[in-house]
Chains A and B, each alone.
Chain A
Amino acid sequence: MSNTLESSLEADKTHMHMNRSSRGFAMGDMVFKWTALFFALVVLLLLAGIIIMLAKGSVPAFEAFGWGFITLEDWDPVNEIYGAWAALVGTLVAAAIAMLIGLPLSFGIAIFITEMAPQWLKRPVGTAIELLAAVPSIIYGMWGLFFFAPWFAAHIQPGLVATLGPLPLIGGLFQMPLLGGASGVSVLTAGIVLAIMIVPFMASVIRDVFEIVPPVLKESAYGIGATTWEVVWNVVLPYTKTGVVGGVMLGLGRAIGETMAVTFIIGNASQLGSSLLEPGTTIAAKLANEFNEADGLQMDALIAMGLLLFIITFIVLMLSKLLLMRLAATQEGRKT
């Protein structure tokens, strides 16, 4: 009897002890949870801060030029007239060239790694491509300026001018510029170097997306006699299309916002050239070149261009995110 009483007293004591320490634990829990929440909020505030700062900084430029700022082609520091059009078009054209060249290349590499390469080759090739994606963009810029652009100007450019130049419609894009044609510094070479830079990145993303296709699907297609290409075209691509588009948009986002690779090669001309072989500029390159020396209205105009760049990449990235999320959703739907 006394024994049981004693043990129940004992139990009570430990219970009380636990209560006290569990209250301490609860405090710790609160502190930890709120700290984590606070830092999650910091991420939101960062984005909000970026948007607010850019918007605030670009008010004077939009006040001075109105919405016409976007479509104004002049960039004239002497007369204080600034428009974003030349850089905006340059950004889009360079990104378009990069996608035009980069897309087929990325698909080819992703198909090779997932469908064709023997097992022992998959890993090394995949690793090499991923390492190429990790090389800092300034290295691509240097290599492009000192090696690729001169080589392109000497060996590819004359052929391009001779074959595509006389064509109707697109011929104007391939006219030899009056000055500086030999250095290879142009919108076209910048776009090509941009393509070489985003290919490894897009190829890795597309490969990852391709790899989620259940082997059973592919095996049944092979089983009824489909060729590798037919499997890719009729099974893999339909299954992964949203993911592939999402990955491609990620690459496009990169191409639009890339600074260093482009700044080295595009030549930083303020005017919009009619030929792709002429130098041009992009928003990012213009910022990199002029921001530090700018003041007054020129600085405001540059910040306003930064805002434009951010809005464009924001839209592209949101689209890509939505598509990738939809792929994940169909994935889960299929599993159950």
Chain B
Amino acid sequence: MQLYARRKLINTVNMTASVLTTLLGLLFLAWILAVLVGKGVSAINGSLFTEMTPPPGSAGGLANALIGSLMLTVTAVVIGTPIGIMAGTYLAEYGRGGAFAEIVRTINDILLSAPSIIIGVFVYAMMVAPQGHFSGWAGAVALAIIVIPVVLRTTENMLSLVPTQMREAAAALGAPQWMVIMKVVYKAAITGMVTGVILAVARITGETAPLLFTALNNQFWTLNMNEPMANLPVVIFQFAMSPYDDWRELAWAAALLITALVLGMNILARTLTRGHK
């Protein structure tokens, strides 16, 4: 009986701890979101989208950073997605079970979790230093290097879920392998692949470290990818660390925007895959 009571006690203590840790986790989520909304909402207004980032001590907006972030993200996705999809296709359709595919998979996992600041240093050494100036292109390449492993991973996973019978059925009709892949396998896996791209976009939307040494920042409106380019994360970093109230307020507004975007994309990706099942 005593043993039984002791076991029960241990169980109660540990399970209570488990509930408490979960509550603590949720509490932090609530705290962070409350801070973002509390600080960010009051800073969001129309001029945010029409005016440029101001010099210290005056009001302004984030228009140049918004367009810069948009251009960097779109370029990175355009560069990174085809590479990720084709490499993922190779792993799932051609290299299954082979040693080469296993190596690529391992390397990809390492790229997936490599510190993003290292990617910034790499692109700096590869592009910024030889060219002699920071540029939007360098920023987009750095972000593309983050997109590739995310897209590769999801593509491979999604293609592997497509039943082999579907490939066999298409092959039996005389379709060559590339047509089987393009017209049957991709079609069956498209939702999952799109989800992968959305998750990749969500990931790079908030990435700051790789842009610090590549796209840097720009106080002015520019669409020229050869120049340094303003972008939301670096603006947040510079403005939040500054002593000026106007700048800090803009940083909170940008932080709220970014978080809303990232969470929105994650929720979208979730609903997509859920509807598919």
Chain A residues proximal to chain B, CB less than 8 Å: 18, 22, 25-26, 28-29, 31-33, 35-40, 42-44, 46-47, 49-50, 53-54, 56-57, 104-105, 107-109, 111-113, 116, 125, 127-132, 134-143, 145-147, 196, 199-200, 203, 227-230, 232, 250, 253-254, 256-260, 263-264, 284, 287-288, 291-292, 302-303, 306, 309-310, 313-314, 317-318, 321
Quick check: is B176 within 8 A (CB to CB) of the other chain?
yes
Min Cβ gap B61→A in Å is 19
Residues of the A chain whose Cβ atoms lie less than 8 Å from the Cβ of B31:
143, 147
How far, in whole Å, are A129 and B10 apart by their CA atoms in the complex? Answer: 26
Known: A108-B18, A136-B259, A229-B14. A43 touches B111 (CB 8 A): yes
Instruction: Verify B117–A284 contact, CB threshold 8 A.
Output: yes
Give the CA-CA distance A132 to B259 in the complex, in Å. 10
Binary flags per residue of B80-111, CB closer than 8 Å to A gives 1, else 0: 00110011011101110000110110111111
Top 9 A-B pairs, shortest CB-CB distance: A136-B206, A257-B115, A108-B21, A32-B178, A36-B90, A25-B176, A227-B11, A39-B86, A259-B209
Instruction: Report the Cα distance A65→B35, complex, angstroms.
Output: 46
Q: Give the CA-CA distance A109 to B258 in the complex, in Å.
A: 27
Contacts of A109 in B (CB 8 A): 18, 21-22, 25
Asked if B277 is at the interface of the complex by the 8 Å CB criterion, the answer is no
B276 CB–A CB distance under 8 Å: no
Name A284's contact: one of B107, B209, B252, B266 (CB within 8 Å): B209
- Chain B interface mostly: helix
Collect the chain A residues with CB atoms within 8 Å of residue B35's CB: 143, 146-147
Assess the B181–A292 pair: CB atoms within 8 A: no
Which residue of B8, B115, B213 contacts A258 across the interface (Cβ within 8 Å)? Answer: B115
Q: Can you give 24 A-B contacts (C-beta < 8 A)? A: A29-B178, A32-B178, A32-B181, A33-B90, A33-B177, A40-B86, A43-B149, A46-B111, A53-B122, A109-B18, A109-B22, A112-B21, A137-B206, A138-B208, A141-B240, A143-B35, A227-B8, A227-B11, A257-B116, A259-B117, A313-B115, A314-B110, A317-B109, A318-B106
Report the Cα distance A146→B202, complex, angstroms.
Answer: 25
Interface residues of B in 137-152 (CB under 8 A from A): 145, 148-149, 152
How far is A136 from B270 in the complex, measured between Cα atoms in Å?
18
Instruction: Give Cα A136 to B231, complex, Å.
Output: 15
CA distance A42 to B29 in the complex (A): 38
Contact A292 B113 (CB under 8 A): no
CA–CA, A203 and B18, complex, Å = 12
A-contact bits for B1-16, CB 8 A (1 contact / 0 none): 0000001101100110
Shortest Cβ distance from A138 into B: residue: B208
Chain A interface, DSSP helix/strand/loop, else mixed = helix
Q: How far is the CB of B88 from chain A (nearest CB, A)?
A: 9
Task: Answer whether A116 and B213 are a contact pair too, CB < 8 Å, given A54-B121, A259-B115, A310-B114.
Answer: no
Which single member of B95, B111, B113 contacts A47 (CB below 8 Å)? Answer: B111
On whether the beta carbons of B83 and A42 are closer than 8 Å, the reply is yes
Closest to B178 in A: A32
In the assembled complex, the CB of A17 is this many whole angstroms from the nearest CB of chain B, namely 12
A131 touching B29, Cβ below 8 Å: yes
Nearest B residue to A151, CB-CB: B31
Pick the contact of B113 from A37, A129, A317 — CB < 8 Å? A317
Chain B residue with Cβ nearest A324 = B109
Q: Check B8 against A43 for contact (C-beta < 8 Å).
A: no
The answer to whether B104 touches A44, judged by C-beta atoms less than 8 angstroms apart, is: yes
Whole-angstrom distance from the CB of A324 to the nearest CB of chain B? 9
Shortest distance between the CB of A266 and any CB in chain B (Å): 13
Question: Contact mask B112-129 → A, CB, 8 Å, 1/0?
Answer: 011111111110111000
**Could you tell me which residues of chain B, from 189 to 225, have a CB within 8 Å of some CB in chain A?**
202, 205-209, 212-213, 216
- Taking a contact as CB atoms under 8 Å apart, the answer to whether B208 and A259 are in contact is yes
Contacts of A146 in B (CB 8 A): 35, 240
**Is there contact, CB below 8 Å, between B216 and A256?**
no
Q: Please, how many angstroms separate the alpha-carbon atoms of A49 and B111 in the complex? A: 12
Known contacts A43-B152, A104-B21: does B115 contact A260 (CB below 8 Å)?
no
Shortest CB-to-CB span from B256 to chain A, Å, is 9
Identify which of B109, B149, B206, B255 contacts A321 (C-beta below 8 A).
B109
**Min distance, Cβ A94 to any Cβ of chain B, angstroms:** 13
Which of B90, B174, B216 counts the most chain A CB atoms within 10 A? B90
Query: Contact: B29 with A40, CB < 8 Å?
Result: no
CB of B32 within 8 A of CB of A139, answer yes
**Chain B residues closer than 8 Å to A314, beta-carbon distance:** 110, 114
Contact A136 B22 (CB under 8 A): no
Q: How far is the CB of B177 from chain A (nearest CB, A)?
A: 5
| A22 B176 Cβ-Cβ under 8 A | yes
Least CB distance, A248 to chain B, in whole angstroms = 13
Return chain B residues, CB-CB under 8 Å to A135: 32, 206, 259, 262-263
